[in-house]
Amino acid sequence: MFPTKKFFLLGILQVLFAATAFSENEVFIPVTTANNALVFKVDNNHKLRQCYYGDKLNPSDYPSIQVSTADAFPTFGTSNINEAALRAVHADGNTSTELIFDSYTTEKAGDGVELTTITLKDTFFPFLVKLCFKAYQKDNVIEQWSEIRHTEKKPVMLYNFASSHLFFSDNNYYLTQFFGNWAEEMKMEEVKLTRGQKVIESKLGVRTNSFAHACFYLSLNGQAQENAGKVIGGTLAWPGTWNLTFDVDQLNNLHMISGINPYASQYSLKPNTVFKTPSFLYTYSSEGTGNVSRNFHRWAKQYGIYRGDKTRTTLLNNWEATYFNFNEEVLSNIIKDASNMGFELFLLDDGWFGDKHPRNDDTQGLGDWMVNKKKLPNGLGYLVNEATKNKIKFGIWLEPEMVNPKSELYEKHPDWVIGQPNRPLDLQRNQLILDLSNPKVQEYVYSVIDKTLSENPGIAYIKWDCNRYITNSGSYFESPQNQSHLFIDYVHGFFTVLDKVRAKYKNVSMMLCSGGGGRIDYATLPYFDEFWISDNTDALDRIFIQWGTTQFFPAMALASHVSACPNGITGRTIPLKFRFDVAMSAKLGMDLQPKDMSPEDKEFSKKAIQEYYGIRGIVQFGDLYRLLSPYTNTRTALMYVAENKNEAVVFTYLLKKTITGNTQPLILNGLDPQKTYTVTEINKDPKSYSWFSPLDGKTFTGEFLMKYGLRFTMYNEYDSKIIKLTSK
């Protein structure tokens, strides 16, 4: 039966009354950055309400914001009928939690960083929740998390424990999500949110970004645009299981909840113990998604990535040249080649270890981190010295969290792996995961890093890999009643190891790899200098993979390598210049081996590496502006602009051949309209005619380039251009 018109109108009046009939002396709590404001108020029932999130207002206007009906941190078991941010069963079996406002503090938490802490308390139980907000003023990023604590006599069981709840009341909502699989990471797709829930989540435990990524755009009142429109960008800083829930309620309001995925993860919280949730990072822009990306990139270089102020090195990896089949002579020659090409570091990949079970393929040896003397009779130190003689640095591949059943480690400690008793082993890539909830395992994993680096002090770089996710999710360390703690305690154990590594080895660079981009997040990246987003180095695919990745993560840390052709994954053959031009738009590296190149290609590559050094500072430290999306154009383009706007570099690629030629203008962005810029094509292909030639060396004002743009035809599939702009 449908409600009558009379009762429907009565319901609307009740909602309006609820939104306005509060005391005139409410407590209001603004969390502000340079351009954004998140405002809370306390109603006359002592409930904390989120009232506003958007462009920053005049402080005198905050008291005029109406108190909303949006509970700042909705709980289960009382009046809330929407998704709960918190669900707990108290020691006496009571399933309800009713939180009211207790107090708040605001304090300085660093240069340009302000911490606001709002304390909520249960109306009956000695149970507290702190909502914590770090506001990064210059970058317009808010970092939010919750802290749950109680003093009940017995443990409280937590079933839902969100990091944040955000509330929006607009006409419509468009969500851009990021997803993929191995070798096709960070695809983008936008959908309109309709009534009900849209849930994006991971239940994988480890390598949890393998199929979906915990970041999103939320566009209000229309589809997301690059340079216009109201949009929120958010990402969860957590390498474990995660959940993003978007719930459009019966009044077309949107409730957005982020945090650890509660699936199979109920947590028994002891008295006087703090359960701290992961940080949810978000920013608001009224100028489209491009501004959201730049907010995150600027924030990341100072707070989100290890040594974000340091230039990233170029490297040559041996993997595609040798796979597991190498010896000292082969590697010594590759080191010499790397030096002669102009690279700064040589990386030795998988296959250098194992004694009883030598690592000659991926079926054995993982976990036994002693040098394979048959391959390397003089140890790693010999190769480190070879690199030093050739005036480059040396790096090493490790996968310390993993073990092959065919290994000495597993033979000694079968109870150190994640698995279920009375169940067969479930292998991925012939390997199992070590249980980092176990302190003994944590110590072992740390010892792997410590022993490798302390015995070979010249090692300057570690590629830290992680090639599978959790199945058979049982722990031989956790108690029977706390098996559901595994997904959370594993992450805490992982961070314990990383804390010890970074405390001792501050100057060793580390790459975060996880079978590609399976573990890219802002809780893990503060320990790592860079990340490997995909095992797929096909330049055409990489355009899309890197386009999605750089929506939230800066190109300075995105390792992008030139590989052999046909490509080992896709089988596609792409010109060498195109491969270099794509890799140079991020952090350049190479798997293609100099010994396999023609003299002509080798000479081109050496020059390209030197060209990269000329623009590296702009790419790694400049602001990113996306000009033409590969999702909607046959030609794509992006550019980086130096902070002082004196230099910029434009990358453009033709994805599909056009018979009459692609004449899309490149309308540039981010320049100083008052400055004049000389445009110069770099990394030229000496064998091909360039339609850019009539513009090459010409000078234009920034205003002209941002209104009229650069106009030249591109004809051929895999045509590409790198254009440097220099202000006089």
What are 441-473's pLDDT values in tens digits?
999 999 999 999 999 999 999 999 999 999 999
Kindly tell me if the per-residue pLDDT of 432 is higher than 90: yes
- Residues 45, 98: contact at Cβ < 8 Å? no
Proportion of the chain above pLDDT 90, given as a percent: 92
Whether residue 349 lies inside any domain: the answer is: no
Which pLDDT score, from 0 to 100, does residue 585 have? 98
Confidence of residue 16 (pLDDT cuts 50, 70, 90): very low
pLDDT digits (tens, 9 = 90+) for 170-203: 999 999 999 999 999 999 999 999 999 999 999 9
Residue that is last in its domain, among 535, 554, 582: 535
Whether residue 715 lies inside any domain: the answer is: yes
Q: What angle separates helix 539-549 from helix 576-583, to the nearest 10 degrees? A: 10
Q: Please indicate, yes or no, whether residues 493 and 633 belong to a single structural domain of this protein.
A: no
User: Nearest CA to 636 among 619, 647, 650?
Assistant: 650
Name, in order, each residue with C-beta under 8 angstroms of 160's C-beta and a sequence gap of 6 or more: 76, 84, 85, 86, 87, 88, 262
Kindly tell me if the per-residue pLDDT of 532 is higher than 60: yes
Kindly tell me if the per-residue pLDDT of 136 is higher than 60: yes
Residue with the larger pLDDT of the pair 196 and 24? 196
Residue that is last in its domain, among 535, 570, 588: 535
What is the pLDDT of the chain when averaged over all its residues? 95
Confidence of residue 517 (pLDDT cuts 50, 70, 90): very high
Q: Please indicate, yes or no, whether residues 173 and 279 belong to a single structural domain of this protein.
A: yes
Confidence of residue 21 (pLDDT cuts 50, 70, 90): very low
- Residue 528's alpha-carbon distances to 73, 278, 462, 508, 672, in angstroms, are 33, 18, 10, 10, 34
pLDDT digits (tens, 9 = 90+) for 475-516: 999 999 999 999 999 999 999 999 999 999 999 999 999 999
Q: What is the CATH number of the domain that holds 518?
A: 3.20.20.70
Whether residue 214 lies inside any domain: the answer is: yes
Confidence of residue 80 (pLDDT cuts 50, 70, 90): confident
Which pLDDT score, from 0 to 100, does residue 6 have? 34
Q: What is the mean pLDDT of residues 376-400?
A: 98
Q: Please indicate, yes or no, whether residues 509 and 654 belong to a single structural domain of this protein.
A: no
- Residue 521's alpha-carbon distances to 174, 406, 499, 576, 658, in angstroms, are 23, 32, 16, 32, 39
Which pLDDT score, from 0 to 100, does residue 22 have? 37
Residue that is last in its domain, among 294, 316, 337: 294
Whether residue 557 lies inside any domain: the answer is: no
Whether residue 452 lies inside any domain: the answer is: yes
Kindly tell me if the per-residue pLDDT of 14 is higher than 70: no
Q: What is the mean pLDDT of residues 370-393?
A: 98
Which pLDDT score, from 0 to 100, does residue 25 have? 62
Kindly tell me if the per-residue pLDDT of 2 is higher than 60: no
Confidence of residue 728 (pLDDT cuts 50, 70, 90): confident
Domain count, the chain: 3
Proportion of the chain above pLDDT 70, given as a percent: 97
Cis bond upstream, residue 554 (ω within 30): no
CA-to-CA distance for 713 and 728, rounded, in angstroms? 27
Q: Please indicate, yes or no, whether residues 398 and 258 belong to a single structural domain of this protein.
A: no
Catalytic residue annotation: 465, 535
Whether residue 71 lies inside any domain: the answer is: yes
Instruction: Quote the domain boundaries for residue 674.
Output: 625-727
CA-to-CA distance for 132 and 129, rounded, in angstroms? 10
Q: What is the CATH number of the domain that holds 271?
A: 2.70.98.60
Phi, psi of 622, deg, nearest 5: -85, 175
Whether residue 12 lies inside any domain: the answer is: no
- Residue 326's alpha-carbon distances to 331, 334, 357, 512, in angstroms, are 7, 11, 17, 24
CA angle centred on 319, ends 315 and 325, rounded to 5°: 135
Q: What is the CATH number of the domain that holds 711?
A: 2.60.40.1180
Q: Please indicate, yes or no, whether residues 148 and 290 belong to a single structural domain of this protein.
A: yes
Q: What is the mean pLDDT of residues 589-615?
A: 97
Which pLDDT score, from 0 to 100, does residue 7 have? 31
Which pLDDT score, from 0 to 100, does residue 81 have? 85
Whether residue 57 lies inside any domain: the answer is: yes
Kindly tell me if the per-residue pLDDT of 62 is higher than 90: no
Query: What does the DSSP 8-state code read for residue 437?
Result: T
CB atoms within 10 A of CB 102: 16
Q: What is the mean pLDDT of residues 421-431?
A: 96
Token pair of 657 as six digits: 């051949």
